[in-house]
């Protein structure tokens, strides 16, 4: 992996870094600013993200489709009374489409696309477990909390096994909730409490086993996976913020 690989950048930079930019984007109302910020995020993802071409194509096409769909769907929600000085474009039953409404919808759509691309910048290159590790190693989150979350990842296969057991137990005891789709929903709902109860009881046994092995006995612990935070991460953060500021200034000057 090269030095300029987004996948090796500290997760805190990738996930928390874009947040100030996102907050600014939410407050914009024009089309150009979020469009430029979105292009910047996509460029960073394409150049440094080391994503497969198919993923990048899906992101690009998905964003375009999203903008198209949202322009219409949020345009329809716009109050026709506020835009009746613009041109009416179409009329389907009770729905009226005005060009002003579509312009408002387009602004919302581009804003959302920019937010989505900023989220994907970290999302496609970071796993949840890595962010948890960075939180314990850099943000001083108590390691007991972080490891509880990492251990919970192992509960998921356990739950699917437990679901089979609960299903079998209900079937053996002839627990019926009627037929058809309503019965199916009732049957599924009947699994919730036993599944949760089984999961919590498993977690209690699990915690005893962890304590028996000395979990939490010391204020600090060694890490098997180290997530470093270095100068490179600060450079990327600076590039992101400077780029976003440049987009804002460029949009303002036009």
Partner 1 sequence: MSSLTTRYLMTCAAIGAAVGVLLVPANFVSAPLALAAPLVFAPMAGLWVTGPVLALALVRRPGAAVLTSFVAGVISSASPVGATSILTCVMVGVAVEVAFLVTAYRVWRPWLFYVDALASGVAYLATWWLWTDMSSWAPGVMVAFGAMMLGSFVLCTGVGLMLAKRLARAGVARGLASASDREVSEALPR
Does position 142 interact with partner 1 (CB under 8 A)? The reply is: yes
Closer of 125 and 243 to partner 1 (Cβ): 125
Q: How far apart are CA 171 and CA 120, in angstroms?
A: 43
| Helix pair 32-48, 231-253: axis angle to 10 deg | 150
Least separation in angstroms between residue 193's CB and partner 1 is 5
Does position 175 interact with partner 1 (CB under 8 A)? The reply is: no
Q: Which two tokens stand for residue 12?
A: 């805190």
Least separation in angstroms between residue 201's CB and partner 1 is 7
Does position 71 interact with partner 1 (CB under 8 A)? The reply is: no
Closer of 200 and 253 to partner 1 (Cβ): 200
| CB neighbour class for 21 (10 Å; exposed up to 12, middle 13-18, buried from 19) | buried
User: By CB under 8 A, how many residues form the interface with partner 1?
Assistant: 68
| 13: Cα separation from own chain's centroid | 15
Q: Restricting to residues 222-251, name those near partner 1 by CB under 8 A.
A: none
Least separation in angstroms between residue 100's CB and partner 1 is 9
Does position 60 interact with partner 1 (CB under 8 A)? The reply is: no
Own/partner pairs for 72-76, CB < 8 Å, 24+ apart?
Answer: 72/97, 72/102, 72/105, 73/105, 74/104, 74/105, 74/108, 74/109, 75/101, 75/102, 75/104, 75/105, 75/106, 76/101, 76/105
Contacting residues toward partner 1, per CB under 8 A: 11, 14-16, 19, 26-27, 29, 66, 69-70, 73-74, 77-82, 104, 107-108, 111-112, 115, 119-120, 122-132, 142, 144-145, 148-153, 155-156, 159, 192-193, 195-197, 199-204, 206-208, 210-211, 215-216
């Amino acid at each position: 992996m090269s030095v300029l690989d987004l996948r090796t950048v500290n997760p805190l930079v990738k996930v928390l870094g874009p947040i100030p930019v996102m907050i600014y984007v939410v407050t914009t109302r024009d089309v150009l600013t979020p469009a430029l910020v979105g292009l910047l995020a996509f460029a960073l993802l394409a150049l440094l993200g080391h994503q497969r071409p198919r993923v990048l194509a899906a992101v690009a096409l998905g964003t375009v489709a999203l903008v198209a769909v949202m322009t219409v769907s949020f345009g329809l929600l716009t109050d026709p009374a506020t835009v009746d000085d613009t041109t009416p474009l179409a009329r389907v039953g009770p729905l009226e489409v005005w060009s002003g409404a579509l312009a408002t919808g387009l602004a919302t759509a581009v804003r959302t696309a920019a937010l989505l691309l900023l989220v994907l910048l970290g999302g496609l290159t970071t796993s949840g477990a890595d962010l948890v590790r960075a939180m314990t190693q850099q943000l001083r989150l108590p390691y007991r909390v972080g490891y509880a979350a990492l251990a919970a990842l192992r509960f998921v296969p356990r739950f699917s096994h437990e679901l089979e057991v609960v299903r079998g137990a209900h079937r053996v005891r002839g627990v019926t909730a009627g037929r058809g789709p309503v019965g199916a929903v009732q049957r599924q709902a009947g699994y919730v409490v036993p599944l949760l109860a089984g999961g919590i009881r498993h977690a209690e046994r699990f915690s005893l086993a962890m304590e028996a092995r000395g979990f939490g006995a010391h204020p600090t612990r060694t890490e098997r996976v180290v997530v470093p935070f270095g100068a490179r991460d600060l450079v990327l953060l600076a590039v992101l913020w400077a780029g976003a500021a440049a987009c804002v200034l460029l949009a303002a000057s036009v």
